[in-house]
Amino acid sequence: MHELQVEAKFPTFRDILLFAAAVGFRQDRRVPFTDSSGDPIRYEVLTAPGFSDTLINMIAANVVTDDPEIMDGTRVEERINIFEEYANGGLEYLQEQVNVRHQPAALVVIDLVTEALSDSGGAKQVSVDELLSGVTWT
């Protein structure tokens, strides 16, 4: 994580974990968080800027698709556990990529972001008619 912070210029470890969880989810890499992995992630650390909890919730909702109650306030720990596992998997994947490609972490991060943006095709123009096609006015 230190290498990612220094070379890839992530301002905080929280940002690295958020990126790693997104990478882990995209690569379908969910690795259980063990005692040897370090301290568990404190929810308060992740949600300091108001948007972080959105990623945590989105990942959980996409993983536990058959149970809408995963979003219940009483299941925050379960959502964090899912997030931790994907962050752990993402960190593993990033380390593998650094080792296999023999590139600095910053280049691996840039390549992964570029790949994700090109795979999705980026933002596409949509007409107003297309935006309103599913809307009914009563």
The 10s digit of each residue's pLDDT in 54-71 is: 899 999 999 999 998 999
Q: Is residue 100 part of a domain?
A: yes
Query: What is the pLDDT at residue 94?
Result: 94
pTM given for the model: 0.77
The string of DSSP letters for 76-96 reads: HHHHHHHHHHHHHHHHHHHHH
| 9: alpha, beta or left? (left if phi > 0; alpha if psi -120 to 50) | left
Q: Is residue 89 part of a domain?
A: yes
- Whether the per-residue pLDDT at 37 is higher than 60: the answer is no
Number of domains in the chain: 1
Q: Is residue 44 part of a domain?
A: yes
Closest CA to 21 of 33, 11, 36, 6: 33
- Containing structural domain, residue 45: 2-132
Query: What is the pLDDT at residue 35?
Result: 59
Q: What gap in Å lies between CA 82 and CA 25, rounded to an integer?
A: 10
Tens of pLDDT, residue by residue over 82-131, are 999 999 999 999 999 999 988 889 999 999 998 888 876 555 666 777 76
Instruction: Tokens for 25, please give them.
Output: 């989810």
Q: Is residue 138 part of a domain?
A: no
Q: Is residue 52 part of a domain?
A: yes
- Whether the per-residue pLDDT at 46 is higher than 90: the answer is no
